[in-house]
A and B are shown apart, each in its own frame.
Chain A
Amino acid sequence: MLQLSETSFADSPADNKQAQFSPGTPDQLREEGELCGRPRSIERKDGSAENKKPLTEAQQFEKKQGVTVETKDGKYVYILKLNGQDKELLTTDANAKGLEKAEAELAKLKRDKIAELDKVFKVSFSTDGEDILNQWVQKNDCSWERGGMIKARSPNLAELSGVEAALYKAQPSQMSKDGSQGVKFYFLTANYYKDDVALAYHIQQDKNNRQAIYFEPGANEGKPITEKDADRMNMHQLYSIEAVTHHELMHNAQQNLNWDTPREKEKWARKLGWLPYEDPNTHETKWMFTGKKDELYRRDQDHCKDSFKWCACGKHGGLENDKGANVAAVKDAKQYTLDQVRDLAQVKPATRYFVNPLEMFAEGGMKYRINEKRRQELLQDSPRLYDAVKEHDQQEVAMRYGKDTAGTPNYIRSVSGVLVKNTAEARAEVQAFEDRIRKVEKKK
């Protein structure tokens, strides 16, 4: 059996395999902004080319197509690991010609899936060789310049399946604000920001004025397609393709609900314990995060090439040292790890990725929508975040699908994440789920 997780990116087969195909350890990545941020301190740890064994033809095929190739009775069997099951797509001779035939068959499946997703959700996808835009490169003096043109590729079947899984639960967040079209998904062949590690970015306006999502190179390689697959493969510390898509579509929802104005953004951010603060020197708006005892934390850096640090700060936003005295630099401030801040937070972030209120909210939304298990985790871990995300979600659903004459929304999100008609039964199901979790939490 050939699996990407076992061999493709390994420095040494004896090492921890899950860590090897991820760019950096999963913990580090989630800490420093794997999804949308631009981490400073993380280097790719998948080893240099010299350390890797060359990939076999079948392994190369797996990497490109996102399917598993197993050898059975002298034949190649092509398997898509989706929704907790192994779905056999086709069988060919176990040779180069067989792989060629499989590629042609998979291309047809891809075309059909793209057409279906366009029809159902109005979304579209990048094509092989499509120009996106010129890369950004940050120089050592912190200034920026444009690099080479980033080319796109078309998605593989695993990526289409992960996006599809998310779309069914994330709607209507795939739509543009005016409801006329869905987002476009781009799959990049070079990083959006040179030398930065990320999985994906939400883009307010692409080259054709369309809301878009960029998946970074390698973001989905070896990743579970859905959260169910992540649980099944014991890879829940990695973002599934479904989870990344949900996260980015939450940013699209934020754009649709006017988070581009400070007033709206702050309204939601305050519900999560974030407070705006204007840097008196630069006049940038920064964010402070509230702890359980109303103490405050701020994430900052002294230099553009430094990693961001969580620091203690006073009620006016100034950094503080361990004696509570004001200090000017991050290096002199009392510092905390992200896990400490997460534990100390008044509103607990849903995951370890909470670099600002937008990302914390997007992570909460991802867990709220993805499936019942994740929604339960969110409600157990962070009821205030759950309530805020639910309110936001319902607002977007009502905006898109309307209300009846009495002002009641026509649709609500069921516990599974799918939108359903807003009937008494549907509401009762959600209520029973929430009551059950809240009661258990109260007893603890």
Chain B
Amino acid sequence: MIAKDSDNLSNSSLSAWRPGQGWLGVIPGKTSIKDAINGLGGTCETAEMANGFSFDFRDGLIRVTAIEQQATISKLWISGRLASAGIIPGSLKSAQNVFSNLLRVGRDPFNADIYESEGVRLAAASGSDDGDLVWIEFLPV
């Protein structure tokens, strides 16, 4: 089942997030493409990638991808702009409270700092130690 907006950060279960748990009820590597699409609202824009497909929801602020002809989704991407709706943490420090062991691994083409921990990758605006979340990805474990 896919969670709704009401399943937001105030949900106590989030403080105990574990790798492989996914987000919004979508578990990369486990949730089928069909279930992910239905759960995220049903309506989406589809585009082809070199090795798979992407499905965009909410005007492109949420995306799931499926690669290499697998029936399950390979990644869930969420824009930092949805932090204001309480769907994801709003800043690096609040993300560190939810996802343990985040380590900086590089930067994205917009110079946002990329942090990773098992099952999650996120980018935070780089101009301060507690930059806004720019995007977050949930990955298979």
Residues of chain A having any CB pair with chain B under 8 Å? 36, 38, 133-134, 136, 142-144, 201-207, 209, 212, 251, 254-255, 258-264, 266, 275-278, 280, 283-284, 288, 296, 304, 315-317, 356, 358-359
Contact = CB atoms under 8 A, between A and B. Distances in A.
B80 to A, nearest CB: 8
A205 B127 contact: yes
B127 A207 contact: yes
A136 B139 CA distance: 26
B127 A276 contact: no
Given A205-B125, A207-B128, A283-B140, A260 B50 contact: no
A219 to B, nearest CB: 15
A36 B137 CA distance: 24
A356 B21 CA distance: 32
Given A260-B110, A283-B75, A204 B125 contact: yes
Given A134-B129, A144-B103, A260-B81, 11 more contacts: A136-B104, A205-B125, A205-B128, A206-B128, A209-B132, A254-B110, A260-B110, A266-B47, A275-B49, A304-B106, A316-B68
Interface string B93-129: 0000000000111110111100000000100011111
A264 B60 contact: yes
A134 B104 CA distance: 14
Interface string B41-79: 000010101111010100011010101100000110101
Contacts of B68: 280, 316
A284 B50 CA distance: 13
Nearest to B61: A261
Interface of B: 28, 45, 47, 49-52, 54, 56, 60-61, 63, 65, 67-68, 74-75, 77, 79-81, 103-107, 109-112, 121, 125-129, 131-132, 134-135, 137, 139-140
A284 B137 CA distance: 9
B60 A263 contact: yes
B127 A263 contact: no
Contact of B111 (A143, A203, A317): A203
B49 to A, nearest CB: 5
Nearest to B52: A278
Contact of B50 (A204, A254, A317): A317
A278 B65 contact: yes
A337 B79 CA distance: 35
B17 to A, nearest CB: 18
A266 B106 CA distance: 21
Nearest to B49: A276
Contacts, number: 109
21 contacts: A144-B105, A203-B111, A203-B127, A204-B111, A204-B127, A204-B134, A205-B126, A205-B127, A209-B132, A212-B127, A261-B56, A262-B56, A262-B63, A263-B45, A276-B50, A283-B121, A283-B140, A304-B106, A316-B51, A356-B109, A358-B110
A42 B125 CA distance: 27
A430 B47 CA distance: 34
B60 A315 contact: no
Contact of A277 (B50, B107, B139): B50
B110 A202 contact: yes
A144 B104 contact: yes
B51 A280 contact: yes
A214 to B, nearest CB: 9
A149 B63 CA distance: 37
Nearest to A357: B109
Contacts of A266: 47
A278 B75 contact: yes
Contacts of A288: 50
Contact of A259 (B74, B103, B110, B126): B110
B76 to A, nearest CB: 10
A153 B75 CA distance: 43
A213 B105 CA distance: 22
Contacts of B65: 278
Task: Sort A-B residue pairs by CB-CB distance and give the 10 closest, nearest first.
Answer: A263-B60, A205-B125, A206-B127, A277-B50, A261-B60, A316-B51, A144-B104, A358-B109, A207-B128, A203-B127
Contacts of A284: 121
Contacts of A201: 111
A367 to B, nearest CB: 19
Contact of B110 (A206, A209, A255, A315): A255
